[in-house]
Amino acid sequence: MAAAENWAFPASLQPKPEELGFDLAAALDAVVLVKAEVPEEAFTAGILGTERIGNGVVIREDGLILTIGYLITEAQSIWLTTNRGSVVAGHALAYDQVTGFGLVLPLGPIGVKPIARGSAGGCAVGDEVYLIGQGGREHALKAAVFAKREFAGYWEYVLDEAIFTAPAHPQWGGAALVGRDGRLLGIGSLLLQEEQDGRQVQGNMVVPVDLLEPILDDMVQHGRPNRPPRAWLGLYVQEAGGRLVVGGLATGGPADRAGIKLGDAVLAVAGARANGLADLFRKIWQLGPAGTEVPLTLSRRETRIEVRAKSADRADFLLKPRLH
């Protein structure tokens, strides 16, 4: 994600307080800068880097911050900066791999009022929304919802319905998606480019805040939701020409240990054909939780082969946060 720097959206793209039915200043101040430092030996350091900068949103009176989990995964040091310039240390309290949400607990008074949470069900395709990064109105963007649909990510991640907005916010990670009523609708996750009406459109994928409500108490109390961990293979698959091709492997992960190779095409899971990325991952998860053996049918240089990978809990490969 783009690093924080002196920049501003054109005035025409910024939300204007006089046009809104809510306190824009309060919504802007609820978004803080999140800077995380991750050790070089961390499992995710090679993919996500050791210095990560993004946003977070204060969602409770005690200062609890909701962000996107990849910013704080394996973080050993977190610093939070408010729009007023206050800097407070934070603790990576929780990360949920299923939703992608992360929680940060400030380790001192942050002096920021929380934003009220709404529901993504209250926004429709075509609605005007506001994607807010830390830094005030200059970093707030008027956008529109151009789609609400399933999303599958190659890192073994599926959302039944994500929110897609355009134009794109350059500091999307952990940004707050706010509706016309000033309530939080979701958290920015990705920058993407898609074709619409024959032209390429750059936008953002946002995780709906509705996914937080059923798991929030467990995340605060236990650091993760109270559900069996999903089967994880460390298998980075991409759709290419109608095939599901292995484009990467987590070193030492289940797929790597099972002998799966880069360039293999995944044909089936436990004998059932995989029809697309989301279907592949759902078929794996349907076999059972982490620790379940996953039979895969692969095509390698036009040769059909069978492998069995014993899945794992991805969290077991990650460094645990330490309390300051």
Q: Give tens-digit pLDDT for 133-170.
A: 999 999 999 999 999 999 999 999 999 999 999 999 99
- Position 138: which residue type? E
Angle CA(19)–CA(22)–CA(23) in degrees, nearest 5?
Answer: 105
Contact criterion met (CB below 8 Å) for 17 and 24: yes
Distance between CA 96 and CA 138 in Å, rounded?
Answer: 31
Query: Tens digits of per-residue pLDDT, 83-100?
Result: 999 999 999 999 999 999
Distance between CA 198 and CA 213 in Å, rounded?
Answer: 38
Kindly tell me if the per-residue pLDDT of 198 is higher than 90.
no
> Does CATH number 1.10.8.60 belong to domain 235-317?
no
Distance between CA 45 and CA 39 in Å, rounded?
Answer: 7
- pLDDT given at position 149: 96
Structure tokens at 192: 């993407």
Structure tokens at 68: 């996107």
> Does CATH number 3.30.420.40 belong to domain 19-114?
no
What are the structural domain ranges in the chain? Answer: 19-114, 120-211, 235-317
Kindly tell me if the per-residue pLDDT of 4 is higher than 60.
no
Contact criterion met (CB below 8 Å) for 135 and 83: yes
Terminal Cα-to-Cα distance of the chain (whole angstroms) = 26
- pLDDT given at position 323: 58
Query: Tens digits of per-residue pLDDT, 293-313?
Result: 999 999 999 999 999 999 999
Q: Which DSSP letter does residue 285 get? A: H
Structure tokens at 250: 């987590």
- pLDDT given at position 197: 75
Write the class of the CATH domain 120-211.
mainly beta
120-211 and 19-114 share a CATH fold: yes
pLDDT range class, residue 200, cuts 50, 70, 90: confident
- pLDDT given at position 166: 96
- pLDDT given at position 205: 98
pLDDT range class, residue 194, cuts 50, 70, 90: confident
- pLDDT given at position 1: 46
Token pair 């005035």 in the structure block, residue: 11
Kindly tell me if the per-residue pLDDT of 22 is higher than 60.
yes
Percent of the chain predicted with pLDDT > 70:
98
Angle CA(191)–CA(7)–CA(31) in degrees, nearest 5?
Answer: 65
Quote the pTM value.
0.95
Kindly tell me if the per-residue pLDDT of 286 is higher than 60.
yes
Which helix (H) or strand (E) is 280 found in, with range?
Answer: helix 277-286
Query: Tens digits of per-residue pLDDT, 228-260?
Result: 999 999 999 999 989 999 999 999 999 999 999
Kindly tell me if the per-residue pLDDT of 322 is higher than 80.
no
Query: Tens digits of per-residue pLDDT, 25-48?
Result: 999 999 999 999 999 999 999 999
